């Protein structure tokens, strides 16, 4: 089998696994944030900035994987 035939499968895995990992990471982090906010309400303000920073980092990793996957799919650097 030629490697070019497996390119759509590889791109799908890059984007799909990146999305799943990002969603799971954000979900776990948000649940821990809500749990800690319920235990110590006075810590909501300092933790909120850290939560939004980490959400941006997690989404950034997914967007980079999507960009690389689309570059492989459209530019086809393996020809």
Q: What is the pLDDT of residue 76?
A: 67
Q: In sequence order, which ranges of the chain are alpha helices (DSSP H)?
A: 7-39, 44-75
Residue of 59, 60, 63, 70 marked active site: 59
pLDDT over 90 for what percent of the chain? 47
**In degrees rounded to 5, what are phi and psi of residue 47?**
-75, -25
Q: What is the pLDDT of residue 78?
A: 63
0.95 cut: is pTM over it?
no
Q: What is the pLDDT of residue 28?
A: 95
Domain boundaries, the chain: 26-79
**Which residue numbers in the chain have pLDDT < 70?**
1-4, 76-79
Check if 12 is active-site: no
């Amino acid at each position: 089998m030629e490697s070019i035939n497996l390119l759509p499968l590889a791109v799908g895995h890059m984007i799909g696994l990146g999305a799943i990992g990002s969603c799971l990471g954000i979900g776990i982090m948000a649940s821990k944030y809500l749990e800690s906010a319920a235990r110590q309400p006075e810590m909501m303000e300092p933790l909120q900035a850290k939560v939004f920073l980490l959400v941006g980092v997690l989404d950034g990793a997914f967007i980079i994987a999507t960009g690389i996957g689309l570059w492989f799919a459209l530019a086809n650097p393996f020809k």
